[in-house]
Amino acid sequence: GAGVSQSPSNKVTEKGKDVELRCDPISGHTALYWYRQSLGQGLEFLIYFQGNSAPDKSGLPSDRFSAERTGGSVSTLTIQRTQQEDSAVYLCASSLSSGIGYGYTFGSGTRLTVV
């Protein structure tokens, strides 16, 4: 696609429910990144993929968070048993490749509200 597409754009969920956030990167981009931006906070790195593998999962806040990428394209970020502190904007970015200094293109994000 022309840009990075994220869905849904907004999600309201009840505490304790599971949610899935989707990211569709730019066609041909092999690197994909997930970030989280909480209200009034900076961007927090969660995980990145090079192809289908995730060399760095160090940013995932807890074992309730997981992510996968299939076919070197679409990625899903899953949050199980959501908590109120999970409320944030989840941003996805893609890059032509990792490690060679290419720029990132970000999607518009998914605003998650846990009530």
Partner 1 sequence: KQEVTQIPAALSVPEGENLVLNCSFTDSAIYNLQWFRQDPGKGLTSLLLIQSSQREQTSGRLNASLDKSSGRSTLYIAASQPGDSATYLCAVLTNTDKLIFGTGTRLQVFP
Single out the residue of 91, 94, 112, 114 in contact with partner 1 (rule: CB under 8 A): 91
Smallest Cα–Cα separation from 34: which of 113, 110, 114? 110
Single out the residue of 22, 64, 87, 106 in contact with partner 1 (rule: CB under 8 A): 106
Asked if residue 48 binds partner 1 (CB under 8 A), the reply is yes
Single out the residue of 23, 65, 88, 107 in contact with partner 1 (rule: CB under 8 A): 107
Cis peptide leading into residue 61 (ω within 30°): no
Per CB under 8 A, the segment of 14-22, 34-42, 66-74, 78-86 that binds partner 1 is 34-42
Asked if residue 100 binds partner 1 (CB under 8 A), the reply is yes
Asked if residue 60 binds partner 1 (CB under 8 A), the reply is no
| Burial of residue 86 (number of CB atoms within 10 Å: 0-12, 13-18, 19+) | buried
Positive or negative torsion for Cα 58, 61, 63, 69 = negative
Residues that bind partner 1 (CB under 8 A): 31, 33, 35, 41-43, 45, 48, 50, 55-56, 91, 93, 98-101, 103-109, 111
